[in-house]
Chain A
């Protein structure tokens, strides 16, 4: 399946790559162009001649150029030419077939060998011991902060938290490390930072308590606690959980979290049109590399998702997906803010350690609450949004009531998309 030109552009690591791809697009720069269903290929003249091969769906590519950015200009140009129908059909030459075979082997996954259950159990037990040591260190750290006084953190507090986060990373508890780093950002910001910091530290304390009580927790909640601490699940483990849903998944929000340590995360929220299930799909990419297998920023994608075990299943991985199409209906939403907040409270009760929740709000208008930007429901009640209302939200609403989706973190609502005039607009 060929990517449309707009999606080729969306693969580019930055705008400069699009411009440079345009420079490599003229046909006289290419020779031996060809394509099959599975691949397109050719030789492109640049400062020297490069061998380029791509999966027409944009999920894989290879180029012999030394570009640091991927996909490079030559890959984008070839995808572009393919999208424009400028690449003729031809039998795949040997070097392309070799590449296709290798891709097929990679997709099939690693060769299965006998599982060494003892070694596995030993590794798990070693990790648990390291995490336990890390959690105990965190408990002492938290108590020390409250004993010494949060007021002392105004000078040098950030470094203190950063050191603690590093210790947690060493203890293989990256989830806790992320939370500690997040709290470091609260220090000194805004007049009420001590209260907000204490609230965050308090939630962290509850997570530590929950970790100590892991064996006695219901399994779904225990899974949430383990994930919040930093255990990740292999694909096989997610599949083994058997919470799989086939549906038409409407993309109701997508944004890129710049993340830490040069790994970016693309958060895509989906809503099952038939099942009503909410899913959060995460894609990670290092540096400036594009996200592999990223879902589109809008539209409806048919497919099968597998959900992580959880008391409030949200996180999911995409098992299979078909060609996407435009969204033809609003995702709908709660008729009032009070109705949504009641639902949010129920969800929080199910998983007290989730940080953000998807909120679908129907018929809200842009406005203000005490001079600060907010969304107003039909009952005249307001929900604050951070900093400012997105310009695109203002533009598509024109002050009228529209359906808006976003992430709710318990304090503020971050708009992600809006449905107005029968069109879905992602909000940056």
Chain B
């Protein structure tokens, strides 16, 4: 701080100060001391601005050369509008096409794209973004691509609770043994909620190396932590706890006369860990379900001598908890035959909800696509919507045709005033607009808006219709500007 600033901070009333005699200040008018000080400061500020000194800087490294051609300005304009409106479904559609056709996003659009990709994973961002996207992600924290990342050890020790959780999540995904090694001494010093959240990182399903950590947590001072550890150990095939439960679980179902009889356990054995949490009502059923879920699925087909489809079909509709237990076991084991059988059951019973969603997530799209046409003929829109959304785009023709037929049925009911289109049906219209193969897009969809127009008075319908018109317009424009290559599956 120079003398003049020091005087100004304290005040000329408190600190003595002598005006400058430098030639540059000589022309300044005489006046009271504070005024003279101010004018000198003003002159020096002007001089500083006029004689600003530069310092040596360090330039960033340059981005690697691109290997993909930039997309056309017309398609870039379309993408820019979509990014501006944060229409991620359509952005993903454009990215897929760019990736398939060896094109890339113009650099000017990358910031908006990477911001969006950070909020929701957009497949093909890093392919269609080209080398520049990867380079840009290197320059800005938070724009890095998802996936295995180098775990920042300091964050585990010194990060915020959220940073520690995220770092652990990455470590569990990339090196579960290292995660367990770090957690075993550290977990005991954390609050119960943190201990539970950390254990939950092994939920999908737990790796074998996590067993000692989970066994350690069976004696945790918090009941909720013990419950979480018990549930995880029961999901870990081969763990001692799972084996003990499976030994009991196999007796919970008896195969008699071509049907399953449920035999509820008389009481909960402490060797099975903490019982599954929940209200007293239905506790025994819940406990039986937890035991049944630990039994290897092959045990049930061995008992019946039938296929998984037949084994599941033999279950009484009222014993839904058994289907839930089998689903849990099938998800852990990633057993496609059982998952398919359970999916058929779920479609047959009109099931919806998160468990149904987990089943859809676990099954490959082609298996779902085989089931979709029949479901489209008979099921509710609430059940159809998650199924349709999970299908790969573009939809196979049988699915597309079944959807169009169902849509016309709906439109007819709307036109005759028999029905207001349900929200799930309207959402499925958007899903279809995104996924119908191009020929159907041209032939069948131009009149959709008119067909649902009688319900336009409802805000929801009006909004869905505007959205639909927008999606269709963008898809048609995309087909014009960058059609699918001849070698690709033709839309």
Given A206-B42, A376-B59, A425:B54 Cβ within 8 A: no
Q: Considering the complex, which residues of chain B in the window 6-59 have a beta carbon less than 8 Å from any beta carbon of chain A? A: 8-14, 29, 32, 34-35, 37-46, 48-52, 54-59
Q: Nearest chain B CB to A394's CB is how many angstroms away? A: 6
User: Is the pair A198, B41 in contact by a Cβ cutoff of 8 Å?
Assistant: yes
Interface string of A9-21 (1 = CB under 8 A from B): 1000001001100
Instruction: Enumerate B134-150 residues with CB–CB distance to A below 8 Å.
Output: 135-136, 139-140
Instruction: Give the contacting residue for B50; candidates A345, A367, A370; CB below 8 A.
Output: A345
| A392 interface neighbour in B43, B52, B108, B469, Cβ under 8 Å | B108
Chain B residue numbers with a CB within 8 Å of A97 are: none
Closest chain A residue to B463 by CB distance?
Answer: A23
| Contact of A15 with B42 at beta-carbon distance under 8 Å, contacts A368-B58, A382-B54, A396-B108 already known | no
Q: Are B56 and A382 in contact (CB under 8 A)?
A: yes
Residues of A within 8 A of B106 (CB): 423
Answer yes or no: A59 CB below 8 A from chain B CBs. no
Is there contact, CB below 8 Å, between A367 and B60?
A: yes
Task: Considering the complex, give the chain B residue whose CB is closest to the CB of A29.
Answer: B456
Q: A205-B41, A341-B54, A400-B63 are in contact. List 13 more A-B contacts (CB 8 A).
A: A18-B85, A23-B462, A143-B34, A146-B12, A149-B9, A149-B14, A151-B10, A194-B9, A206-B43, A209-B39, A367-B58, A383-B54, A398-B107
A and B contact pairs by CB, cutoff 8 A, 6 listed: A142-B34, A146-B12, A202-B42, A344-B49, A366-B59, A370-B55
- Interchain CA distance A421-B465 in the complex, whole Å: 40
Cβ of A125 within 8 Å of any chain B Cβ, yes or no, is no
Q: Beta-carbon contacts of A380-401 to B below 8 Å, as 1s and 0s?
A: 1111000000011011101110
Residue with the greatest number of chain A CB neighbours at <10 A, chosen from B10, B11, B462: B11
- Contact between A199 and B8, CB atoms less than 8 A apart: no
Point out the residue from A18, A146, A194, A395 that lies within 8 Å of B110, measured CB to CB. Answer: A395
Q: Which bracket fits the contact residues of B?
A: 35 or more
Cβ-closest chain A residue relative to B45 = A199
Distance between Cα atoms of A341 and B8 in the complex (Å): 29
* A411 to B5 Cα, complex, angstroms: 18
B61 interfacial by beta-carbon distance below 8 Å: yes
Bound together, the chains give a CA A420 to CA B46 distance in angstroms of: 34
User: Could you tell me the distance between the alpha carbons of A195 and B5 in the complex, rounded to whole angstroms?
Assistant: 6
CB within 8 Å of A: which of B305-344?
Answer: none
- Residues B55 and A381 in contact, CB atoms below 8 Å apart: yes
Report yes or no: A204 in contact with B42, Cβ–Cβ below 8 A. Answer: yes
A202 and B38: CB pair below 8 A?
Answer: yes
Within 8 Å by CB of A398, from B48, B62, B465, B469, lies: B62
Contacting pair A395 B136 (CB below 8 A): yes
Closest residue of A by beta carbon distance from B15? A149
Task: Specify which chain A residues have a CB less than 8 angstroms from the CB of B39 in the assembled complex.
Answer: 202, 205-206, 209
Q: Would you call A28 and B108 a contact (CB within 8 A)?
A: no
CA distance A317 to B109 in the complex (A): 33
| In the assembled complex, B367 has its CB within 8 A of some CB on chain A | no
* Chain B residues closer than 8 Å to A137, beta-carbon distance: none
- Taken together as a complex, chains A and B put the C-alpha atoms of A22 and B473 apart, in Å, by 13
Among residues of A, the one whose C-beta sits closest to the C-beta of B77 is: A6
Shortest beta-carbon distance from A16 to chain B in Å: 11
Please indicate the chain A residues that have their CB under 8 angstroms from the CB of B465 in the complex: 26
Whole-angstrom distance from the CB of A350 to the nearest CB of chain B? 11
| Chain B interface, >50% SS class | helix
Q: Which residues of B contact A139 (CB under 8 A)?
A: 35
With an 8 Å Cβ cutoff, the count of chain A residues facing the other chain is 69
Shortest CB distance B31–A (Å): 9
- Is the C-beta of B363 less than 8 angstroms from some C-beta in chain A? no
Chain B positions within 8 Å of A394 at CB level: 60, 111, 136, 139-140
Determine the distance from Cα of A18 to Cα of B59 in the docked complex, in whole angstroms.
41
Q: Which parts of A164-195 form the interface with B (CB within 8 Å)?
A: 194-195
User: Known contacts A143-B34, A199-B45, A391-B140; is A399 also within 8 Å of B62 by CB?
Assistant: yes
Cβ of A133 under 8 Å from chain B: no
- Name the residue among B32, B77, B106, B107 with the largest chain A CB count within 10 angstroms: B107
Bound CA span A200–B54, Å: 22
Q: When the two chains form their complex, are residues A15 and B85 in contact, meaning their CB atoms are under 8 A apart?
A: yes
Any B CB within 8 A of the CB of A148: yes
Mask: chain B, 103-143; 1 = CB below 8 Å from A; 0 = not: 00011111100000000000000000000100110011000
Please indicate the chain A residues that have their CB under 8 angstroms from the CB of B477 in the complex: none
Q: A381–B55 Cα gap in the complex (Å)?
A: 6
Binding site for B on A (CB under 8 A): 6, 9, 15, 18-19, 22-23, 25-26, 28, 139, 142-152, 194-195, 198-206, 209, 337-338, 341, 344-345, 348-349, 352, 365-370, 374-376, 380-383, 391-392, 394-396, 398-400, 410-411, 420-421, 423, 425
Give the CA-CA distance A18 to B466 in the complex, in Å: 12
Complex alpha-carbon distance, A110 and B49, angstroms = 44
Determine if A147 and B12 form an interchain contact, defined as CB atoms under 8 angstroms apart: yes
Question: Are the CB atoms of A380 and B132 closer together than 8 Å?
Answer: no
B203 to chain A, nearest CB (A): 36
Nearest chain B residue, comparing its CB with the CB of A380: B56
The CB with the most chain B CB atoms within 10 A, among A19, A151, A398, is that of A398
A23-B462, A148-B13, A374-B57 known; A400 and B62 CB under 8 Å?
yes
Which residues of the partner chain A approach B46 to less than 8 Å between Cβ atoms?
A: 203, 206, 348, 352
B42 & A205 in contact (Cβ 8 Å cutoff)? yes
Contact among B34, B52, B110 for A341, CB-based, below 8 A: B52
Q: Which of A143, A150, A206, A338 contacts B32 (CB 8 A)?
A: A143
> In the complex, what distance in Å separates the CA atom of A412 from the CA atom of B108?
24
Tell me whether B52 and A399 are in contact (CB under 8 A). Answer: no
A135 to chain B, nearest CB (A): 13
A195 touches B1 (CB 8 A): yes
Identify which of B10, B29, B51 contacts A209 (C-beta below 8 A).
B29
Contact B35 A205, beta carbon cutoff 8 Å:
yes
Contact of B345 with A by CB under 8 A = no
Complex-state Cα separation, A365 to B59, whole angstroms:
6
What chain A residues lie within 8 Å of B37 (beta carbons)? 146
Chain B residue contacts of A149, Cβ below 8 A: 8-11, 13-14
B residues near A375, Cβ cutoff 8 Å? 57
Whether a CB of chain A sits under 8 angstroms from the CB of B453 is yes
Q: Which residues of the partner chain B approach A349 to less than 8 Å between Cβ atoms? A: 50
Cross-chain contact of A22 among B1, B35, B108, B466 (Cβ < 8 A): B466
* Nearest-neighbor residue (CB-CB) of A149 within chain B: B11
* B44 contacts across to A, CB distance below 8 A: 199, 202
A217 to chain B, nearest CB (A): 14
Establish whether residues B57 and A368, one from each chain, have CB atoms under 8 Å apart when the complex forms: yes
Contact of A142 among B35, B49, B56, B135 (CB under 8 A): B35
B83 within 8 A of partner (CB): no
Of all chain B residues, the one with the shortest Cβ separation from A28 is B453
Q: How far is the CB of A397 from chain B (nearest CB, A)?
A: 8
Q: Is the CB of B11 within 8 A of A148?
A: yes
The verdict on B476 contacting chain A, using a C-beta distance below 8 Å, is no
B41 touches A199 (CB 8 A): yes
Report how far A341 CA is from B1 CA in the complex, Å.
26
Contacting pair A381 B466 (CB below 8 A)? no
> In whole Å, how far is B54's beta carbon from the nearest beta carbon of chain A?
4
Kindly list chain A residues whose C-beta atoms are within 8 Å of the C-beta of B90. none
Collect the chain B residues with CB atoms within 8 Å of residue A370's CB.
55
Given that A382-B54, A394-B136 are known contacts, is A348 also in contact with B49, CB under 8 Å in the complex?
A: yes
Residues in A with CB closer than 8 Å to B11 are 146-152
In the complex, chain B residues whose CB is within 8 Å of the CB of A392: 108, 111
Task: Note all chain B residues with C-beta closer than 8 A to A201.
Answer: 38, 41-42
Interfacial chain B residues near A142, Cβ < 8 Å: 34-35, 38
Query: Is B402 located at the chain interface by the 8 A CB criterion?
Result: no
Decide if B8 touches A391 in the complex (CB within 8 Å). Answer: no
Q: How far is the CB of A30 from chain B (nearest CB, A)?
A: 14
Also in contact, A205 and B140, with CB within 8 A (given A15-B85, A352-B46, A400-B62): no
